[in-house]
Homo-oligomer: A and B are copies of this chain.
Amino acid sequence: MSNVAQKQESSIKDYIVGVTLQAAAVRAEIAAASTEIKNQALKFIADEILNSSTILKQQNQLDLEAGKKRGLDSALLDRLELTDARIDAMVEGLMQVCTLDDPVGQTTDMQTRPSGIQVGKMRVPIGVILIIYESRPNVTADAAALCIKSGNVTILRGGSEALHSNQAIAKCIHAGLDKAGLSKDIVQVITTADREAVTELLHADDYIDIVIPRGGKSLIEKIMQESRIPLIKHLDGVCHVYIHEEADIDMATKIAFNSKAQRFGVCNAMETLLVDKNIAKQVLPGLQKKFAEKNIELRGCELTREFLNDIAEASEQDWYEEYLGPVLAIKIVDGVSQAMQHIEKYGSHHTDTIVTNNQDIAQQFLREVDSSSVMINASTRFADGFEYGLGAEIGISTDKLHARGPVGLEGLTTQKFIVLGDGNIRE
A317 to chain B, nearest CB (A): 19
Cβ contact within 8 Å between B111 and A401 = no
Q: How far is the CB of A92 from chain B (nearest CB, A)?
A: 18
Residues B254 and A423 in contact, CB atoms below 8 Å apart: yes
Chain B neighbourhood of A418, CB < 8 A? 366, 373-376
Q: Cβ of A179: which chain B residues have Cβ within 8 Å of it?
A: none
The 8 Å CB contact of A367, one of B122, B126, B368, is B122
Per-residue CB contact flags for chain A residues 360-390 toward chain B (1 = under 8 Å, else 0) read 0000001110111111111101110001110
Contacts of A414 in B (CB 8 A): 400-401, 404
Determine the chain B residues whose CB is within 8 A of the CB of A117 once the complex forms.
Answer: 378, 382, 387
Complex interface: chain B residues within 8 A of A278 (CB): none
- Whole-angstrom distance between the alpha carbons of A389 and B120 in the complex? 10
Tell yes or no: A40 within 8 A of B by CB. no
Measured in the bound complex, the distance between the Cα atoms of B116 and A251 in whole Å is: 15
User: Which B residues lie within 8 Å of A401 (CB)?
Assistant: 126, 209-210, 230, 401-402, 414
User: Which B residues are in CB contact (< 8 Å) with A122?
Assistant: 366-367, 374
Which residues does chain B contribute within 8 Å of A372, judged by CB atoms? 416-417
* A105 (CB) vs chain B CBs: closest residue: B367
A248 at the interface (CB under 8 A from B): yes
What separation, in Å, do the CA atoms of A111 and B390 have in the docked complex?
11
Per-residue contact bits, chain A 241-263, to B (CB 8 Å; 1 contact, 0 not): 00000001011001101100010
- Tell me how far the C-beta of A264 lies from the nearest C-beta in chain B, rounded to whole angstroms: 13
Question: Contact at B406–A417, with CB atoms within 8 Å?
Answer: yes
Task: State in angstroms the CA–CA spacing of A402 and B33 once bound together.
Answer: 24
29 chain-A/chain-B pairs, Cβ below 8 angstroms: A28-B340, A31-B370, A32-B367, A113-B389, A115-B382, A122-B367, A126-B400, A126-B401, A209-B401, A210-B400, A230-B230, A230-B401, A248-B423, A250-B423, A254-B423, A257-B425, A373-B417, A375-B421, A376-B421, A377-B421, A378-B419, A378-B420, A381-B425, A387-B426, A400-B414, A401-B402, A404-B415, A404-B416, A405-B416
A368 nearest in chain B by CB position: B32
Q: How many Å lie between the Cα of A368 and that of B32 in the bound state?
A: 6
Closest residue on chain B to residue A384 by CB atoms: B426
A400 to B426, CA, bound (A): 26
Assembled-state Cα–Cα distance A360/B105 (Å): 14
The residue that A377 contacts in the complex, of B368, B374, B406, B420, with Cβ under 8 A, is B420
**Contact between B417 and A383 (Cβ–Cβ < 8 Å)?**
yes
Among the interface residues A372, A406, A426, which one has the most CB atoms of the partner chain B within 10 A? A426
Min CB distance A403 to B, Å, is 8
Nearest CB of chain B from residue A60's CB, rounded to whole Å:
30
Whether A347 is near chain B, meaning CB under 8 Å from some CB there, is no
CB distance A113 to B426 under 8 Å?
Answer: no
Chain B residue at minimal CB-CB distance from A104 = B367
Asked if A251 and B423 make an inter-chain contact with CB atoms under 8 angstroms apart, the answer reads yes
A314 → chain B, closest Cβ, in Å?
A: 24
CB neighbours (8 Å) of A84 from chain B are none
Task: Check A119 for interface membership: any CB of B closer than 8 A.
Answer: yes
Interface pairs A-B: 8 shortest CB-CB: A378-B421, A258-B425, A381-B426, A251-B423, A375-B419, A405-B417, A401-B402, A373-B417
List residues 334-369 of chain A with CB under 8 A from any CB of chain B.
Answer: 340, 344, 353, 366-368
